[in-house]
Each structure stands twice: as C-alpha cells, then as structure tokens.
C-alpha cells in the first residue's frame, strides 16, 4: 500500500530531531526529472528509509523555508519479502550522459522576472490510468517535446519500472501542459509513459525487439522474463488500471505569452533546476523549436562548438535562438528600451516564431547556415571566443556577448555583399577583441540596448569595414 501526503517544514525538521541516525537511511535521487519531493518507506510501523527525490527542497525546509513538501508513504509490509535497497534503486537510477558546452558566463544576463502573464495560467491535478494514457498517445492527444524524443532507459531500468507497477509500488507524478487544440504536451514523464506503452504493445523502443522483462533476480519470479502477452489477465489489468498523478497547466487564452515559461521556471527552483532553454523547449513547441534542433546539427556549428554531441543543458540551442533575436532586435519595439531582460526577450521572440510561416522559417534557416559557414571560414574554431588576458591566445569558451556581435555582424556583411572568403578576417577579429570600447561593451551592461548595438557595430566596422545601420 502507498499514499501521498503533504509535509510541513516543521514535520520534515522533526525527522532529523527525532532520529539522529536518520542520515544513514537517506538516499538521493539521480533522476533529475522527479517531481515528488521524497518517499518514506515504512515496515511494521517504523520508518526504515527515506528516498529524497528533491534534495534541495528538503534542505531548504531544514534551513527555514516556508513551503510544504510532497511525499509518498510506502508500507513495505504489503509487499511480502522485499529487498529495500533494490526498491530504492528504482527511484535513484536514471539520467543520460550528454556533452557540456564550454560557455563563459556574462554577469547580469541571468535575471528572472515576473509580470502579468502569470495571471493567464490555470493548473489542476488529475489521476490518469495507463489505459487512458496509452489511448491518448495512440490518438496523438498526448505529445512529447523535442527534448524527450529519444528513449534512453535501458531494458533493466524499464523492467524494474514494470515490476514496480505489478507490485503496486507508487509511480512518481508527471507534468503535462494542455495545448489550445486540447492535446497534452508531456513536460516530464516521457520515459515512464513510453516504458508502459512499449511493454503493453510488445516492442522495446530502444532496440526494436520484443519487450520481455529481464531475467534478473531483482524482477519478481512470477513475471520474470515474460512479455505482456504472457502475463495473466489480472496482471494485465493491473498495469492498464494503475494510475499516475498528473499536474496539468493551461494558458487561459491561446496567447504566446511567457506565462507558461514563468510557471516552469518557478516550479524548477529546487533540485536540478532546468535551464531557460530547456523550459522553452517544453513550452514553445512549434516550427521555431524544430528549426533550432535542425540547425544545431550543422557540421560547421558542431566543429566551432568542438562538440559532437548536443549540449546536455541546451546552451547550444539557446545561442542559435540568441542569434536570431539579436539580429532582429533593430526592427523590434524592444530596441526602443534602455535595457532588455534577456530571458524575457528570448521567450517572447521564440513564442512569436512558434507559428511562423514556412517561408519565414526557411529564411531564418538560410541566414544561420550562411552565417555559420562564413564564420567557420573566417575564424575557424576561434569563432566567438575571447582572448585570454594580456595575450594573443584564445580562451576555450564561447563568450555569448562576443557571439552576439560577431554572428550578427557577419550576417550583415553577407547581406551587404562585403564578405570575401580570401580576406584575413582572423587578424581583424583579434584586433576587435583588443579594442577597449568593444571590450567594455562586451563585458559591462551587456543587456543595455546601446551596448548591444555598439558591439555589433564595432564588429561590423572593424572586421568587415561596413557601417551597421539600425
């Protein structure tokens, strides 16, 4: 048996005060997408262990935070002889190793914000059976964002999850976003949903082979090594009828504002915080998002980044979005501001481009492809990198402010017909990076509109010999 409950801060703190050896019974989740805060395991009325799915949230409460914690209580007595450590492993395994882009942090750019778009949101909870979820997925009423297109669980992990369902163990909550067309977007929970879908349908997504549970001793012998079709009628019903708790968000009006982004930014302030572009990937589904993923695979771009694999936190995708937003800034109303909130500007820009016409998407693709190929020709792998202090050597990290200036200036030079592949642009580039005025505009108040335009203008003039006109 298991049940969900809410813990107040004082209750969490009492765990530590009542039982000093509690620390030795705490396990930490490596699954960075879990949404429940913790699971308590009880046997014969005594707490045996706690699995922290959201370590930071619990630490915050221990330090005096006012928020409550969402927990699951599991009564082990109802599961017969169980290996506690093996069950805990089911909640602390997971994740996918990906590359990490070396990117310089520019002070002052990472600022959260709050505005009236938050009034445009509704949220509620719902318990959905896997029978319902499978039907919704088959009918294209349940969709997944680009981030979650790949199934990454191993057969052993998937088998353990199915075994947990058959044993009646709790399934952590998922997050969904309701779209204007009445479909649901999977924000979190794709691996769990696809595992059950694959098992019921009989084919394992990861390798395209028949999905039979593994033969390991960690799987109950009653269904060890069996496919769904080989289970008894009662066991099949148990899987289909198991419910999973979903938290659903919806925008009140079909507007591409930033309300959904702000919601997910706030609910991800504990544990493994999602980066802004990871959230945009979830809430701004559409042609622009698909374009970013497509452009991110371009050979010259990957060579400049010096990464074969995509960045784990989508920093490479955000740079591409940033290029488009900065190159269009001079045409937009934000250009009239003294300073932009970079996150908000990127959110609005991507939201507006979500349903762009095919012709506009094609033009955007042509601009980025031509720009990045020109930069690869002109600067090689030094493109978008700054110089080490007092040397002629380049750093190994891409500088976002330098990226703004050079990428937009290069596109402008191409459009003006002044880019010539046989010119020694690398020498001019080094002189630009040494220019005191450019160094100031690329390191101080980088979201000040005047400084943005100044560094783009200096790059256009000093590297390509053309005046950048606003």
Report DSSP letters for 350-368, one per residue: HHHHTT--HHHHHHHHHHH
Cα separation of 174 and 129, whole Å? 12
Residue 47 and residue 41 in contact, taking contact as beta carbons nearer than 8 Å: yes
Residue 296 and residue 311 in contact, taking contact as beta carbons nearer than 8 Å: no
Tally of CB atoms within 10 A around 344: 19
CA distances from 46 to 62, 77, 78 (A): 22, 11, 14
Cα separation of 115 and 117, whole Å? 6
- The low-confidence residues of the chain, meaning pLDDT below 50, are 19-24, 28-34, 94-98, 113-114, 116, 118-119, 148-149, 268-272
pLDDT of amino acid 58: 60
pLDDT of amino acid 95: 41
Burial class (CB in 10 A: 0-12, 13-18, 19+), 428: middle
Token pair of 372 as six digits: 């990045």
Residue 199 and residue 162 in contact, taking contact as beta carbons nearer than 8 Å: yes
Residue 280 and residue 324 in contact, taking contact as beta carbons nearer than 8 Å: no
Q: Are strands 385-387 and 394-398 parallel, antiparallel or unpaired?
A: antiparallel
Token pair of 231 as six digits: 């289970």
- Cα 182 to the chain's mean position, in Å? 23
Burial class (CB in 10 A: 0-12, 13-18, 19+), 367: middle
DSSP for 244-298 reads: EEEEEEEESSS---SHHHHHHHHHTSSSSPPPHHHHHHHHS-SHHHHHHHHHTT-
Residue 2 and residue 170 in contact, taking contact as beta carbons nearer than 8 Å: yes
Token pair of 61 as six digits: 């409460």
Residue 120 and residue 257 in contact, taking contact as beta carbons nearer than 8 Å: yes
DSSP for 271-283 reads: SSPPPHHHHHHHH
Which of 136, 41, 137, 55 shows the shortest CA–CA distance to 85? Answer: 41
Please report which residue ranges of 168-232 form alpha helices under DSSP H. Answer: 190-201
pLDDT of amino acid 236: 95
Cα separation of 409 and 387, whole Å? 19
Burial class (CB in 10 A: 0-12, 13-18, 19+), 439: middle
Q: Are strands 184-188 and 142-143 parallel, antiparallel or unpaired?
A: parallel
Cα separation of 449 and 329, whole Å? 9
Supply φ then ψ for residue 297, to 5 degrees. -95, 0
Token pair of 226 as six digits: 């069996």
pTM, two decimals, is 0.61
Which of 194, 201, 186 shows the shortest CA–CA distance to 153? Answer: 194
Beta strands in 92-145 (DSSP E): 121-129, 142-143
pLDDT of amino acid 256: 55
Please report which residue ranges of 356-448 form alpha helices under DSSP H. Answer: 358-379, 400-416, 425-434, 436-441
CA distances from 200 to 136, 140, 176, 191, 224 (A): 14, 17, 22, 14, 15
Tally of CB atoms within 10 A around 114: 11
Token pair of 174 as six digits: 């998922």
Q: Are strands 174-178 and 142-143 parallel, antiparallel or unpaired?
A: unpaired
Burial class (CB in 10 A: 0-12, 13-18, 19+), 298: middle
pLDDT of amino acid 21: 37
């Amino acid at each position: 048996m298991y049940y969900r409950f809410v813990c107040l801060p004082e209750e969490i703190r009492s765990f530590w005060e009542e039982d000093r050896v509690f620390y030795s019974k705490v396990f930490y989740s490596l699954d960075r997408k879990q949404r429940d805060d913790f699971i308590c395991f009880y046997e014969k009325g005594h707490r045996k262990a706690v699995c922290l799915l959201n370590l930071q949230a619990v630490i915050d409460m221990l330090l005096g935070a006012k928020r409550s914690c969402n927990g699951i209580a599991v009564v082990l007595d109802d599961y017969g002889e169980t290996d506690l450590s093996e069950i805990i492993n089911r909640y602390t395994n997971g994740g996918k190793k990906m590359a990490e882009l070396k990117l310089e942090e520019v002070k002052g750019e990472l600022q959260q914000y709050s505005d009236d778009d938050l009034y445009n949101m509704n949220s509620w909870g719902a318990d959905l059976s896997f029978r319902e979820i499978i039907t919704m997925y088959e009918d294209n009423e349940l969709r997944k964002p680009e981030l979650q297109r790949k199934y990454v669980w191993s057969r052993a992990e998937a088998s353990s999850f199915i075994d947990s369902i058959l044993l009646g163990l709790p399934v952590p909550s998922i997050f969904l976003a309701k779209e204007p067309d009445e479909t649901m977007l999977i924000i979190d929970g794709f691996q769990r949903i696809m595992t059950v879908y694959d098992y019921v349908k009989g084919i394992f997504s990861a390798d395209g082979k028949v999905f039979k549970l593994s033969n390991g001793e960690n799987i109950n012998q009653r269904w060890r090594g069996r496919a769904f079709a080989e289970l008894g009628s009662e066991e099949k019903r148990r899987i289909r009828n198991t419910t999973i708790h979903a938290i659903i968000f919806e925008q009140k009006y079909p507007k591409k504002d930033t309300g959904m982004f702000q919601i997910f930014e706030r609910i991800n302030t504990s544990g493994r915080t999602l980066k802004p572009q990871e959230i945009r990937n979830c809430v701004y589904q559409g042609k622009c998002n698909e374009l970013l993923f497509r452009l991110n695979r371009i050979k010259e771009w990957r060579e400049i980044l010096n990464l074969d694999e995509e960045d784990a936190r989508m920093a490479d995708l955000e740079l591409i979005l940033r290029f488009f937003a900065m190159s269009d800034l001079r045409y937009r109303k934000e250009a009239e501001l003294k300073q932009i909130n970079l996150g908000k500007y990127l959110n609005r820009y991507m939201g507006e481009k979500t349903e762009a016409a095919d012709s506009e998407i094609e033009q955007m693709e042509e601009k980025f492809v031509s720009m990045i190929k020109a930069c690869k020709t002109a600067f090689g792998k030094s493109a978008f990198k700054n110089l080490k202090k007092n040397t002629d050597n380049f750093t190994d990290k891409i500088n976002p402010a330098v990226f703004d200036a050079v990428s937009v200036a290069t596109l402008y030079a191409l459009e003006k017909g002044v880019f010539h592949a046989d010119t020694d642009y690398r020498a001019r580039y080094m002189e630009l990076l040494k220019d005191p005025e450019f160094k100031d505009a690329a390191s101080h108040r980088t979201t000040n509109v005047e400084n943005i335009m100044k560094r783009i203008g200096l790059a256009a003039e000093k590297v390509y010999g053309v005046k950048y006109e606003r």
